[in-house]
Amino acid sequence: MSKFNPDKYDMQTRSIRAGQSRTQENENSEPLFLTSSFVFDDAADAAARFCGDKPGNIYSRFTNPTVRMFEERLAALEGGERCIGTSSGMSAILTTCMALLKSGNHIVSAKNIFGTTVALFNKILGKFNVSTSYVPLSDYNAWASAIRPETRMLFVETPSNPLTEIADIQRLADLAHENNCLLVVDNCFCTPALQLPLQFGADYVIHSATKYLDGQGRCIGGAIIGPAKQMEEDILMFLRTAGPSMSPFNAWVFLKGLETLNIRMQAHCRNAQLVAEWLSTRKGVKRVYYPGLPSHPQYELAQRQQSGGGGMVSFDVDGGRDRAWKLIDSTNLFSITANLGDVKSTITHPATTTHHRLAPEERQEVGITDSLIRLSVGHESVNDLIKDLDAALGQALKI
Ligand SMILES: Cc1ncc(COP(=O)(O)O)c(C=O)c1O
């Protein structure tokens, strides 16, 4: 669609220029095509487009020029052949599974993934005879032992939500390919600004565009990036038939989000690093989870695989749920919300929100305690954020 050759340019330039396709109006900012369908020259033209003899848009459930610009830009950033936008991050995961798997197949997934993804695997895919086994994210023997003849997909989020555990993507990709499986990586926490899973051998990358790709907490969306042939034949076929397509309006917002992705991610990393370092020194904080801290169990791997620690910091307060809730309720600057990746800092209690659907013993097993708090560190002044946390921690320690 666009003449821009992403291979010739740096990431920062790609995030602003890739995918743009000007109309005859010669606009500088990308146009928003709010149209559900497209008009044909005549009946023969319609027939040719419908049967695939002629390229071109038909209906926005299939393709839309604004969505296409977003897809081209994100593909250029991830270094993938083709990207397809979806209506949400969850529908990106559902689409990938429905398009690439069939009844009787098996998934091996890291235990420590977004709670709704676990529910999708167990409660929805399970109904269609696709089963899932869960393994500790960095126990590579466990990954290898869980693979069965019918396993077709390894699924991982790295860094994981909310404990920022890191998986060695190259190692998992090698294991997947030795066993005729695909490796799917949810790159939501890092984004292509900090980590390129395809470069380490992953087959597909998933995004919740809702998070850092938007970056200002406005729209719900998702994306899948992978090899062109399978994306066209399997993923797009599922999407245009089942319909979890990205809205053009949301695609336009995400396109604008991608333009500032690099500089936003740098600012998230800077602020999160300072908050994590500060939390590590506080009385009343038992443990801090942040890949940029040398105390992080996979610090070396994070340094190799990521170009920054990211914006997510989790920590355990000394005490139980009441103390965690008191701290959360005592903050003034942090928004109490389950979303993340916003320029506004957010604070969440994973055990009773994002991960409440896990049974208590499942949460226990993956380390999501009642005293765990997750921060998505935004772009407010870091001094103000630390002052706010300091006051809130003081209040929490009184109970
Ligand atoms: C790591 C991760 N993947 C996927 C999703 C799902 O994305 P969405 O809310 O856009 O459906 C989330 C949402 O929080 C997430 O944190």
Q: Which atom of ligand 1 is nearest to the CA of 92?
A: 11
Neighbours of 39 (CB within 10 A): 8
Q: Which of 49-53, 87-91, 245-249 has the lowest mean pLDDT?
A: 49-53
Which atom of ligand 1 is closest in space to residue 220's alpha carbon? 10
* Residue 224 burial (CB count, 10 A): 29
- Specify if 1 maps to a domain: no
Asked if residue 61 belongs to a domain, the reply is yes
Q: Are residues 241 and 278 in the same domain?
A: no
Does residue 166 share a domain with residue 93? yes
Asked whether 195 lines ligand 1 (CB < 6 A), one says no
Whichever domain contains 106, its CATH number is 3.40.640.10
Q: Calculate how far, in angstroms, residue 398's C-alpha sits from the geometric centre of ligand 1.
A: 35
pLDDT class of 363 with cuts at 50, 70, 90: confident
Last residue of a domain, one of 213, 233, 259: 259
Picking from 214, 269, 239, the residue whose alpha carbon sits closest to that of residue 382 is 269
Percent of the chain with pLDDT over 70: 99
Is the pLDDT at 164 greater than 90, yes or no? yes
In a domain, 143, yes or no: yes
**In which domain, by residue range, is 252 found?**
6-259
Phi, psi of 157 (to 5 degrees): -115, 125
Per-residue pLDDT, averaged over 130-149, amounts to: 97
Tens digit of each residue's pLDDT (9 = 90 or more) over 173-221: 999 999 999 999 999 999 999 999 999 999 999 999 999 999 999 999 9
How remote is the CA of residue 33 from the centroid of ligand 1, in Å?
26
Give the separation between CA 388 and CA 380, rounded to whole angstroms. Answer: 11
Distance of alpha carbon 318 from alpha carbon 270, whole angstroms = 26
Question: Is 346's pLDDT higher than 90?
Answer: yes
Do 319 and 235 belong to one domain?
A: no
Count structural domains, the chain: 2
The CB-side HSE value for 62 (13 A sphere, CA atoms) comes to 13
Averaged confidence pLDDT in the chain: 96
What is the per-residue pLDDT across 245-303, written as a single tens digit (0 to 9) for each?
Answer: 999 999 999 999 999 999 999 999 999 999 999 999 999 999 999 999 999 999 999 99
Predicted pLDDT of residue 356 = 86
Question: Which atom of ligand 1 is closest in space to residue 188's alpha carbon?
Answer: 1
Question: What CATH number is given to the structural domain containing 359?
Answer: 3.90.1150.10
* CB 96 less than 6 A from any atom of ligand 1: no
- Whether residues 250 and 291 share a domain: the answer is no
- The domain boundary, picked from 259, 276, 300, lies at 259
Say if residue 317 is in the same domain as residue 240: no
Evaluate: CB of 157 within 6 angstroms of ligand 1: yes
The alpha carbon torsion through 368, 123, 166, 168 (nearest 10 deg) reads 150
Give the pTM.
Answer: 0.95
| Ligand 1 pocket residue status of 118, Cβ below 6 Å | no
- Predicted local confidence at residue 97, as pLDDT: 98
- Nearest of 123, 134, 55 to residue 94 by alpha carbon: 123
Please determine, for residue 155, whether its predicted confidence score (pLDDT) is greater than 70. yes
Whether 188 is in the pocket of ligand 1, judged by its Cβ within 6 Å, is yes
Residue with tokens 């420590």: 112
Residue nearest ligand 1's atom 9 by CA: 89
Q: Which of 91, 161, 165 to mutate to test the pocket of ligand 1 (most atoms within 8 A of CB)?
A: 161
310: amino acid identity, one letter: G
Per-residue model confidence (pLDDT) at position 2: 56
